[in-house]
A and B are shown apart, each in its own frame.
Chain A
Amino acid sequence: MAVDENLKIELGKQGVFVTTIQELYNWGRKNSVWPMQFGLACCAIEMIATTMARYDLARFGAEVFRPSPRQADLMIISGTVTKKMAPQVVRLYNQMAEPRYVIAMGACAISGGPFKQGYNVLKGIDRYIPVDVHIPGCPPRPEALIQAFMTLQKKIDQHHLTGEGRPRYLDAEAQGEFPVPEFGAHDLEPARNKGVWVLPEEIR
Chain B
Amino acid sequence: MGGFLARRFLQAVSVVFSVTTLTFVLIHMAPGDPIMVALQSPNITEPVRAQWRASFGLDRPLGEQYLRWMASIARGDLGFSFSLRRPVHDVFADALPRTLVLTGLALVLAFAIGIIVGVLQAERPGGSRDRGLGRVLLVLYSVPDFWLALLALVLFAYRFPVLPAGGMVDPVMHDYLTFSGRVADRLRHLVLPVATLALLTAAGIARYQRAALLDVVHADWMRTAVAKGLSWRVALRRHALRNALLPVITLASLSLPALAAGAVFVERVFSWPGMGNVTVTAIAARDSPLVTAGVLLISTVVAVGSLMADVGVALADPRIRVAS
A in complex with B: no
